[in-house]
Structure formats: structure tokens, C-alpha cells
Amino acid sequence: MEQSAPAEEGFRVGDIVTLWKVPSGTVYWLANKHSWRRYKVCGRVHYHPQDVLDTLG
């Protein structure tokens, strides 16, 4: 099964869970600990791709 690519606007929690195989609670913890920039697109939270990649990449 092919993995989904991150949303064009950034990474959603589901993207991070799927691509890096970490629990969603860990995503929220990492976002808080590393001060990931976040913003909403159509009511959904997206994390800035560079912040995510700097931490998990």
C-alpha cells in the first residue's frame, strides 16, 4: 500500500503518524516541545513542514 504524501500546506497529525510511525500523542508532545509552527487550513491543524523535518527527518 502506498503511503500518502503530506498535505501541500504542511503536515497534518495523520500524515506524521503514517509517515514516521509515531503515536498521535507523541506528535502533539513533539510539536509542543519543539515549538512547531502551526496553522489551520479548512479547520484542520497543519504543522510547518520544515519544523517537522528538522525534528523527525
Tens of pLDDT, residues 25-37: 999 999 999 999 9
Task: Calculate helix-pair angle for 24-33, 49-56, nearest 10 degrees.
Answer: 100
What was the pLDDT predicted at 50?
Answer: 95
DSSP conformational letter for 45: E
pLDDT in the model for residue 57: 86
Spatial distance between the Cα atoms of 17 and 25, rounded to a whole number of angstroms? 10
Residues in the chain where the model's pLDDT stays below 70: 1-8
Is 47 within 8 Å of 20 (Cβ atoms)? no
What SS3 state is found at 24?
helix
DSSP one-letter code for 56 = H
pLDDT of residue 5: 55
Report pLDDT for 2.
Answer: 46
